[in-house]
Amino acid sequence: MKWIHYGFLMAWIGVLSPAWALEVEVGQSYDDLNRGYADWRSTYLDGVRKTADGKTLYGSVRETERFSLSDRELLAGMYYPLDGRWTALAEANFSPSHKVLPQWSALMQIQRTFGQGWGVHLGMRHTKYQNDDAIRINRGNFTIERYWGNYRAAYTFFANKIEGGGSPVSHAFQAAYYYGERNSLGMTYAIGSEVLNLPPAAPAYYDVRSIVLTGRYWFAPRWALTHEVALHEQGDLYTRKGIRLGVRYLF
């Protein structure tokens, strides 16, 4: 079954359209949880391909283990330039097992660039969890960002709505530094409320606070290393410390 998933990913990003600049990344992540919760693990395969007419196709296959439960997930998306300033984004993911991960979700987003490096994003994601009863969640997002020189800064506001629940909000602050031809370092700080699916309980929102450090380093023309280090406080439930390492190849 795993190789069928890999074949789906490669068909999406490689065969469905004439394109160039195919990048594939394989990696693993590990998260240590305190207060007696089992550690998290995941293995993933990502692919990104830019077409000759400016579109970007991407997809991923992921196998995870959370709270001693194993899940698989497929994701596919596309950036579609509408003109010189407008870009549409469509993304969908599906988990055939969905023990912890959502059964499926879909994102639609529009992006607009302005002068002097400014830009805004506006989107909506609909997510369905399937435990004993189906739980549906809508999450809107608004981002304002600016690029200048080798730097990017952004702020994102998230508004959430869960069926039969409240409407919590969250905030994310991002900063990135781009150096060399394709290398980057980034940091994200997030605070607010986030949904957690912890079977057998139904998905619910918990106060969270997290900081994530990311990087990508091209050590050869076709090879790169990627990394992520994260600290995540899930309310009073647990603190999660994670690391992810990946290897990326440019075809």
Q: How high is the mean pLDDT of the chain?
A: 91
**How does pLDDT run across 224-237, given as a tens digit for each residue?**
999 999 999 998 99
Q: What is the pTM of this model?
A: 0.90
CA 189 to chain centroid: 15
Quick check: 98 pLDDT over 60?
Answer: yes
Residue 175 has pLDDT above 60, yes or no: yes
CA distances from 38 to 75, 144, 196, 201, 232 (A): 25, 37, 15, 16, 15
Indicate whether 4 pLDDT > 80.
no
- φ, ψ of residue 53 to 5 degrees: the values are -95, 15
* pLDDT score at 9: 57
- Cα dihedral 84, 57, 111, 168, rounded to 10, equals 180
In one-letter notation, the amino acid at residue 142 is: F
Tens digits of residue pLDDT in 9-18: 555 555 455 5
How far apart, in whole angstroms, are the C-alpha atoms of residue 86 and residue 112?
A: 5
Q: Where are the beta strands (DSSP E) in the chain?
A: 19-33, 40-51, 56-66, 69-81, 86-94, 104-113, 118-130, 134-148, 151-162, 169-179, 183-196, 204-218, 223-234, 238-250
**Could you report the per-residue pLDDT of 75-92, keeping only the tens digit for each?**
999 999 998 899 999 999
Exposed, middle or buried, 124 (CB in 10 Å: 0-12/13-18/19+)?
A: middle
Residue 56, token pair as written in the block: 């970007």
- Residue 30, pLDDT > 90, answer yes
